Amino acid sequence: MSISENIKAVEAKVAAAAERSGRKREDILLLAVSKTKPVETIREAVESGLLALGENKVQEIMEKYEPMAAYAPEGERIHWHLIGHLQTNKVKYIIDKVDMIHSVDSRKLADEIEKRAAAAGRVMDILVEVNMADEESKFGVKPEETEAFLHELAGMEHIRVRGLMTVAPFVENQEENREYFRQMRELLVDMNAKKIDNIEMDMLSMGMTGDYEVAIEEGATIVRVGTGIFGERIYPERG
């Protein structure tokens, strides 16, 4: 299928999952994950109405930022999200380019974002990454460390914590991740109930191509879909 047809299929599934969870379709952001995809391919998604793009790597945002701006509809713009692990020395390159950073999981990174956002005269929306499944290969704070980390972030004037993010395990059957998504939702509710100063979260970034329907049913407000929209990723061959 074409990218536009893929998007229609994904949209239908998002809408159905939203209805099953008693929410409206507009309550959920479909983030098109464009990593490894060239500008011409991403352009098709933008022309089909997807203006929110997610990238794992700073370098790819930098390479695509200007070319993609030309394809935004008149009066609108591309909304970039950094969803992959972010090194502190790369923050300066994207602080003025992204709408949200999904993967904040350390005080060191938060301090750098705070510093760079202050210098840029802006407040950066962030999500705290939680390693809900406790996978050694994944980044993120442990669930039991989330409250303490939020207290550390609360005093930062140029960071706004909007919610939580997780990368669930890769599974063949998306039902296997339902419990992790449910726990994420419960963690968000629990953290909001703590009434931490300057922390009021309403976003849950969870669910990818293989499990976004279950993620929505369990409360996701942002789903990160790459393969379902663009097809399999293309990685450069190693010589």
Phi (first) and psi of residue 152, to 5 degrees: -65, -35
pLDDT at 170: 87
Q: How far is CA 79 from CA 29, 46, 51, 200, in A?
A: 11, 11, 6, 22
For 225-239, the pLDDT digits (tens) are: 999 999 876 655 544
Residue type (1 letter), 87 = Q
In 3D space, the residue among 47, 51, 17, 64 whose CA is nearest the CA of residue 206 turns out to be: 17
This prediction has a pTM of 0.94
Lowest mean pLDDT among 35-39, 80-84, 235-239: 235-239
**Average pLDDT value for the chain:** 95
For 96-136, the pLDDT digits (tens) are: 999 999 999 999 999 999 999 999 999 999 999 999 988 88
Mean pLDDT of 5-14: 97
| Tokens 């008693």, located at residue | 22
More confident residue, 239 or 24: 24
Q: Is the per-residue pLDDT at 24 higher than 80?
A: yes
Query: 5: Cβ–Cβ under 8 A, 6 or more apart, which residues?
Result: none
Label residue 137 by pLDDT band (50, 70, 90): confident
Contact 203, 7 (CB under 8 A): no
- Give the CA angle between residues 169, 20, 54 to the nearest 5°: 45
In 3D space, the residue among 164, 165, 156, 158 whose CA is nearest the CA of residue 197 turns out to be: 156
Indicate the Cα dihedral angle 178, 104, 164, 99, nearest 10°: -110
pLDDT at 171: 84
User: Topology of 3-230 in CATH?
Assistant: TIM Barrel (3.20.20)
Q: Is the per-residue pLDDT at 91 higher than 70?
A: yes
For 170-179, the pLDDT digits (tens) are: 888 999 999 9
Domain residue spans of the chain? 3-230
Query: 215: Cβ–Cβ under 8 A, 6 or more apart, which residues?
Result: 168, 177, 181, 206, 207, 223
For 197-218, the pLDDT digits (tens) are: 999 999 999 999 999 999 999 9
Q: From start to end of the chain, where are the E strands? A: 29-33, 52-55, 79-82, 98-104, 124-129, 159-165, 203-205, 222-225
Strands 124-129 and 222-225: unpaired
Mean pLDDT of 174-198: 96
In 3D space, the residue among 127, 135, 137, 136 whose CA is nearest the CA of residue 103 turns out to be: 127
For 148-162, the pLDDT digits (tens) are: 999 999 999 999 999
pLDDT at 236: 53
Mean pLDDT of 70-87: 96
pLDDT at 106: 97
pLDDT at 103: 97
Phi (first) and psi of residue 134, to 5 degrees: 55, 45
Q: Which two tokens stand for residue 90?
A: 């790369």
